[in-house]
Structure 1
Amino acid sequence: MTSPSFPMGPITELRGRAVVVAGDDIDTDRIIPARFLKCVTFDGLGEQVFADDRAERPGEHPLDRPEVQGASLLVVNRNFGCGSSREHAPQALMRWGIRAVVGESFAEIFYGNCLALGIPCFTASHDTVLSLQSALAAAPAQELQVSLDPAAVELSDGRRWDLELQSGPRQMLLTGQWDATSQLLAHGAELERTARALPYLNGF
């Protein structure tokens, strides 16, 4: 696991390696077990992502394979992130190093929680995801590029798969609107002018 640098501002593409966690209906309790939800901050959750799954197969879980350490793309299957709405799940994935997810479908709340962190969730057909997973299994250390517009993933050997990204989230990510903190900082002067004009803040 790497020390993460968290995304900020507009996001147009990412480069790096990918890790495949195959299987349908992987829920948030598997992504980050409930006992880790007592944390005061999200720091350290990256070390606990898929903790129970990894404990069942020491050294064999996809996230423990040496060739994918530092991976930034997660490739999954159908209905990923279902179950509890806990925001700890995408927080844990981000702190492990994940910056984007490709899958057949995602639970709606998980999808929204990822968007709030600047993690795009791309979708693709069943056959497309299986083809991408097969290519990554054959060359797990291969570098790739994921673009948001057009939505696609391309391996360093030239193979390319078209992906889908909803227009609203795509616009938010490309413009940086997903990042509420940066948006506030960028409009600091306007906020100050507005605050100075509010009677209840200025005693008139």
Structure 2
Amino acid sequence: MSDDAPVADDRSDEPREGTAVPAIRRVAGTGVPIRGDDIDTDQILPARFLKAVTFDDMGEYAFYDQRRDDEGTLNDHPLNEFQGANVLAVNDNFGCGSSREHAPQGLMRWGVEAIVGESFAEIFQDNCKSLGIATLAVDHEDAVDLQDFIEATPDAGIEVDVREETVQYDGKTVEGEVPDAMREALLEGIWDTTAVMRTNLDRAKAVNDSLPYTDD
């Protein structure tokens, strides 16, 4: 992998037979570092935007307050400085706080396709899985090294390998951990359960009709 250019993204694999959902084996691109422990979902997506009828504009609201100064002008927050990146590099207990799915929705719609960090709040991590966002947990030193690397070389390529549970950059490979349920769902293309069910409506109806406790 080149140190100064992103490699191709592998998120668009063909859907597995019987689903409309692509398998996600790896995510490649460039990074955006968000430093700090215990960054909660209210920071990621402020509560006042939860009243939106759809998720369509959530990308605009990601880290909304942190990205602006007191006058509302965009500042030097990483999401303003690293436009076009798709691999988020974070620290400990990222996504803690309320269980709002709007937080990963906002990150996804901003452009995030994978997150590498020290640890993640469980519900946030599960919400990421349902959107096809891979999360890879790495050691503290590895997380900080990745953030330093991104800041020093913002256009350099980074690759998160879901199957191998690694992140590759700057000619090295760092091992991490993807939760078993997430890893299986991403690799098998079954992470979007709604889409899977819609693709298999006939089978779902047949099962429903066969159950003795369901209405005709």
Query: Please, what TM-score do these two structures have when normalized by structure 2?
Result: 0.82
Q: Superposed, which structure 2 residues align to 1:80-119 within 5 Å?
A: 80-119=94-133
Residue type at the aligned position of 2:99:
S
- Count of residues paired in the alignment: 194
Alpha-carbon deviation of 1:198?
Answer: 6.3
Q: Superposed, which structure 2 residues align to 1:168-183 within 5 Å?
A: 168-183=181-196
Residue type at the aligned position of 2:63:
F
- Structure 2 CA distance for aligned equivalents of residues 180 and 131 of structure 1: 35
Q: Superposed, which structure 2 residues align to 1:160-199 within 5 Å?
A: 160-194=173-207, 197=210
Give CA deviations for 1:30-75 in whole Å, capped at 9, x if unaligned: 111111111111110101111111113733000111xx21211111
- Structure 1 CA distance for aligned equivalents of residues 152 and 173 of structure 2: 15
- Structure 2 CA distance for aligned equivalents of residues 185 and 43 of structure 1: 21
- Structure 1 CA distance for aligned equivalents of residues 177 and 208 of structure 2: 41
- Structure 1 CA distance for aligned equivalents of residues 201 and 37 of structure 2: 44
Give CA deviations for 1:122-179 in whole Å, capped at 9, x if unaligned: 1011011111111111101112211111011112x42221121122221111112221
Structure 1 runs, 4 residues or longer, greater than 4 Å off: 195-202
Unaligned runs of 5+ in 1: 1-5
- Give the one of 39, 43, 46 matched to 1:30: 43
Is residue 149 from structure 1 mapped to residue 163 from structure 2 by the alignment?
yes
SS at match of 2:115: strand
Residue 64 of structure 1 aligns with which residue? 80
My pick for the range that moved more, 8-17 or 96-105, is: 8-17
Give CA deviations for 1:89-120 in whole Å, capped at 9, x if unaligned: 01100110111111101111111111111112
SS at match of 1:29: helix
Which protein has the bigger helix share? 1
Unaligned runs of 5+ in 2: 1-10, 13-20
- Structure 1 CA distance for aligned equivalents of residues 159 and 138 of structure 2: 16
Residue type at the aligned position of 1:73:
V
Cα pair 1:128 1:161 within 8 Å, conserved: yes
Residue type at the aligned position of 2:102:
H
- Structure 2 CA distance for aligned equivalents of residues 86 and 185 of structure 1: 24
Percent of aligned positions that are identical: 45
